[in-house]
C-alpha cells in the first residue's frame, strides 16, 4: 500500500484555518490557574506553566499527515516541526511523547521508519523520547507532544515587537508551493531536496544564537504562512513593513508561484488576511509566497535595530539563508502589515 497516497492533505497545510480556529477556542469553558502564564488567549506558540521563580515548563503538541513519500524523512520533518514552538519561545526541549495514527493495512515497517526518523531529530535536539500513544486510523499521522523549559524572566512572546525593531527570517519560503509541484509531478529534484532539507532543519541552532541578544518577539512560521504569523506578531499596536525583494526563497519556489501551484491552505490564509493587508501593488507570485503554508518553517524574529546585524551574522553561521526582511514601525493606519 502506497504511503503518501493514503492522505488527502499533508504537513502544516492541513491546519484548520485561523478564523475557524479562533471561533472554536472562544467558546471553550476555562479554569483560571495563576501558574499558567501563557495559554491560548494569546496567539503564542506554546503554553507555559511556571514551576518556580527561575523555572517554567513549555508544553506544545503538533502532528500531521505526511507530505513526503519516504517515511523516515516524514518522521524527521514532523519531529523538527513539533519542537519549533519551544525554540520560538526561547526555551530548550527536555523530552517528547510520540503521537501516531496508522492505517491497519499499512506495512508496519512504515511505522518503524517514521518513529526512527523522529527519534533521530530528538537525539539531535538532545531531548529524550519518553513514550507516546498510537491508534489505527484511515490516514497515517505523526507528531510529538513536547515539553521544554525556560527561565520565566526570559520568555520570548510572539506579540511583543517594538517600534524600531528589525525583522529577521531564518528559513526560506516556498515549502507548500514546492510540495504542490511535487504532487503535480512538475517539481525538479533540486527543488524537492531543498524543501526537504529546510523542513528537516531544527530551529534549535538559530534559537541558541538569538538567546544572546535582546529579541523582543519571535514566532515560527508554519501553516498560516508568513503574513498570518506576522499579523499575529504585529497585533493592534505596530505595523510591519516587509520588503518582498528581501524574502529568502527556496529554489524554484517563485517559478511555481508564477504557475499558480497554490494550496488550499494558502487560499485560507489569503481569505483571513483579505481585509488586513493591501496587496494591490504586490506581484501575484509574491502574494502566493507570502500566504504559502510552511511545514517546519523558520523563526521570525523582531530585534532592536542596533543588535540586528550582529544577531543575523551569528545565526548565519549555521543558517546562512537567514536574512533581514523588514522593520517594525508605528501604526499610523489600520494596517498591521505593509508590503513593499
Angle at 270 between CA 9 and CA 217, to 5 degrees: 95
Question: What's the chain's length in residues?
Answer: 340
Do the annotations mark residue 243 as ligand-binding? no
Distance CA 221, CA 84 (A): 9
* Residue 90 grid coordinates: 526561547
85: phi then psi, degrees, rounded to nearest 5? -60, -35
Do the annotations mark residue 19 as ligand-binding? no
Q: Is 12 a catalytic residue?
A: yes
- Strand order of the sheet with strand 299-304? 217-220, 299-304, 165-169, 323-330, 238-242, 337-339
Distance CA 147, CA 51 (A): 13
Do the annotations mark residue 62 as ligand-binding? yes
Do the annotations mark residue 220 as ligand-binding? yes
Distance CA 155, CA 90 (A): 6
Which residues does residue 160 pair with via DSSP β-bridges, in sequence order? none
Do the annotations mark residue 41 as ligand-binding? no
Task: Write down the number of H helices and E strands in the chain.
Answer: 11, 12
Do the annotations mark residue 43 as ligand-binding? yes
Residue whose C-alpha is closest to residue 256's, from 193, 194, 184, 200? 184
Do residues 238 and 330 make contact, with C-beta atoms less than 8 angstroms apart? yes
Distance CA 219, CA 186 (A): 32
The one catalytic residue among 12, 218, 311, 329: 12
Angle between helices 284-291 and 225-234 (to 10 degrees): 70
Do the annotations mark residue 2 as ligand-binding? no
- CA of 40: how far to CAs of 24, 28, 37, 45, 48, in Å? 11, 11, 10, 9, 10
Do the annotations mark residue 133 as ligand-binding? yes
Which residues does residue 150 pair with via DSSP β-bridges, in sequence order? 56
Residues 175-209 as b or e (16 or more Cβ within 10 Å = b): bbbbbbbbeeeebeeebbebbbebbbbbbbbbbeb
Do the annotations mark residue 190 as ligand-binding? no
Do the annotations mark residue 33 as ligand-binding? no
Do the annotations mark residue 42 as ligand-binding? yes
Element (H, E) at 88: helix 71-88
Q: Which residues are annotated as part of the binding site for ATP?
A: 15, 42-44, 62, 85, 132-134
Q: Which residues are annotated as part of the binding site?
A: 15, 42-45, 62, 85, 132-134, 220
The catalytic site residues sit at 12
Q: Which residues are annotated as part of the binding site for Mg(2+)?
A: 45, 85, 220
Amino acid at each position: 500500500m502506497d504511503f503518501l497516497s493514503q492522505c488527502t492533505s499533508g504537513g502544516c497545510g492541513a491546519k484548520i484555518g485561523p478564523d475557524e480556529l479562533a471561533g472554536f477556542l472562544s467558546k471553550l469553558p476555562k479554569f483560571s490557574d495563576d501558574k499558567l502564564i501563557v495559554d491560548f488567549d494569546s496567539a503564542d506558540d506554546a503554553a507555559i506553566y511556571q514551576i518556580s521563580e527561575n523555572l517554567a515548563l513549555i508544553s506544545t503538541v503538533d502532528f500531521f499527515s505526511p507530505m513526503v513519500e519516504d517515511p523516515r524523512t516524514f518522521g524527521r520533518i514532523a519531529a523538527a516541526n513539533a519542537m519549533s514552538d519551544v525554540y520560538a519561545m526561547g526555551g530548550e526541549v527536555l523530552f517528547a511523547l510520540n503521537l501516531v495514527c496508522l492505517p491497519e493495512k499499512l506495512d508496519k515497517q512504515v511505522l518503524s521508519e517514521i518513529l526512527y526518523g523522529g527519534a533521530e531529530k530528538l537525539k539531535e535536539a538532545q531531548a529524550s523520547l519518553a513514550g507516546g500513544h498510537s491508534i489505527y486510523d484511515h490516514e497515517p499521522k505523526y507528531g510529538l507532544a513536547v515539553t521544554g523549559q525556560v527561565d520565566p524572566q526570559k520568555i520570548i512572546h510572539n506579540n511583543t515587537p517594538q517600534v524600531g525593531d528589525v525583522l529577521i527570517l531564518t528559513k526560506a519560503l516556498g515549502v507548500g508551493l514546492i510540495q504542490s509541484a511535487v504532487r503535480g509531478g512538475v517539481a525538479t529534484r533540486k527543488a524537492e531536496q531543498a524543501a526537504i532539507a529546510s523542513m528537516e532543519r531544527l530551529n534549535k541552532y538559530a534559537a541558541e544564537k538569538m538567546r544572546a541578544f535582546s529579541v523582543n518577539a519571535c514566532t515560527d512560521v508554519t501553516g498560516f504562512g508568513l503574513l498570518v504569523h506576522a499579523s499575529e506578531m504585529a497585533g493592534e499596536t505596530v505595523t510591519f513593513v516587509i520588503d518582498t525583494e528581501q524574502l529568502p526563497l527556496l529554489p524554484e519556489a517563485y517559478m511555481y508561484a508564477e504557475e499558480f501551484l497554490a494550496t488550499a491552505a494558502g487560499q485560507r490564509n489569503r481569505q483571513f488576511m483579505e481585509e488586513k493587508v493591501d496587496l494591490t501593488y504586490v506581484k501575484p507570485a509574491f502574494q502566493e509566497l507570502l500566504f504559502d503554508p510552511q511545514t517546519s518553517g523558520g523563526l521570525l524574529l523582531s530585534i532592536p535595530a542596533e543588535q540586528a546585524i550582529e544577531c543575523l551574522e551569528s545565526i548565519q553561521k549555521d543558517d546562512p539563508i537567514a536574512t533581514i526582511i523588514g522593520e517594525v514601525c508605528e501604526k499610523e493606519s489600520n494596517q498591521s502589515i505593509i508590503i513593499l
